[in-house]
Amino acid sequence: MARVALTRILPFPAIDRLREVHDVTVWEGPEPPPEDALRELVRDAEGLLCLLTDRIDGPLLEAAPRLRAISNLAVGTDNVDLEAATARGIPVGSTPDVLTDATADLAFALLLASARRLLPASRAVRAGEWVTWEPARWLGDEVTGATLGIVGPGRIGRAVARRAEGFGMRVIDSKAMELDELLEQADFVSLHVPLTDDTRHLIDAGALARMKPTAHLVNTGRGPLVDQDALAAALHAGTIGGAALDVTDPEPLPADHPLLEAPNLIVVPHVGSATHATRERMAAMAVDNLIAGLDGAPLPHRANG
Ligand code: GLV
């Protein structure tokens, strides 16, 4: 039995399986452990099951001298210093594939909601503004026949493309053409690249300026892919048609953040993988990764080394 630290209560059956074979200590708080508490949690841990909200960097690894396996409950691993973990010989697991469809569904839901202005229309109904059928009010943008630009046609990007084909869209992607050209041609742009030093603020003021004034930006990747000040400016100026974000920088986005004053903007709280079935599958995969790592066996899904 190895000592395992779990950074949040995870109410999924896979955690019972983990408890059967290892000695699990859980951070019981409703929010992520603060830095000091996280350091304390990992002090004696050999295994760590963490979330994308936990920053697992070099100093944290130094505070965990016995650590020999990390499992991140996410497909993205930008919260983990993979190089530092590799240098220590610690395998890091992630949870690809099992969340592809749920995340692609959410990206498409955001695309449709932004195109058809669902939020203002719904708000208007609740405000008693629906007085008759309106010939020229609450008009949105047509999806059928429009061009979708997929930035990062990996697993999730391709799954979004498949959905778009079902909606009669033309799909272009950043593997087949330069980003600038994609931004100029697309009516909808959906981001699916991992967050790295190279992709931080990939969508900056210059990129936004290339988009059509009617185009919508959808981000279900990571918040820092987009320069939010530039996005707010573009939405206020009406130089793009709308934006729908599942991810922001920072997360959570404070309720008084200036971005939330921008028009034609939808923000949801990082729920791409948030279905019952997907989160159960992610937990199962994260537990499989951790158990394998602690056994010294190859991880089913390893993100480093
Ligand atoms: C969610 O954002 C994930 O990376 O799994």
- Write the pLDDT tens digit of every residue in 28-77: 999 999 999 999 999 999 999 999 999 999 999 999 999 999 999 999 99
Q: Where are the domains of the chain?
A: 3-98+276-294, 100-267
Assess whether 19 carries a catalytic annotation. no
User: In the structure, what pLDDT confidence band is assigned to residue 305 with cuts at 50, 70 and 90?
Assistant: confident
- Known active-site residue 222: yes
Task: Determine the residue of 52, 193, 270 to mutate for testing ligand 1's pocket, defined as the one with the most ligand atoms within 8 A of the Cβ atom.
Answer: 52
Marked catalytic residue, from 163, 222, 279, 281 = 222
Judge whether 3-98+276-294 and 100-267 match in fold: yes
Which tokens in the block code for residue 66? 């016995």
pLDDT, mean of residues 136-141? 97
pLDDT digit string (tens) for 88-104? Answer: 999 999 999 999 999 99
pLDDT at 206: 98
Q: Is the pTM of this model over 0.95?
A: yes
Level-2 CATH architecture, domain 100-267: 3-Layer(aba) Sandwich (3.40)
Look at residue 294 and tell me whether its pLDDT is greater than 90.
yes
pLDDT at 299: 98
Residue 122: helix, strand or coil by DSSP?
A: helix
Q: What is the CATH number of domain 3-98+276-294?
A: 3.40.50.720
Contacts of 19 (CB under 8 A, 6+ apart): none
With b for 16 or more beta-carbon neighbours within 10 A and e for fewer, the 110-149 pattern comes to bbbbbbebbbebeebeeeeeeeeeeeeeeebbebeebbbb
Token digits of residue 83: 């190089």
| pLDDT at 218 (0 to 100) | 99
Tokens of 133: 């059928």
- Establish whether 276 is a catalytic residue: no
Write the DSSP symbol of residue 226: B
pLDDT tens for each residue of 63-91: 999 999 999 999 999 999 999 999 999 99
Examine the pLDDT at 105 and tell me if it is beyond 90: yes
Ligand 1 atom showing the smallest separation from residue 282 Cα: 5
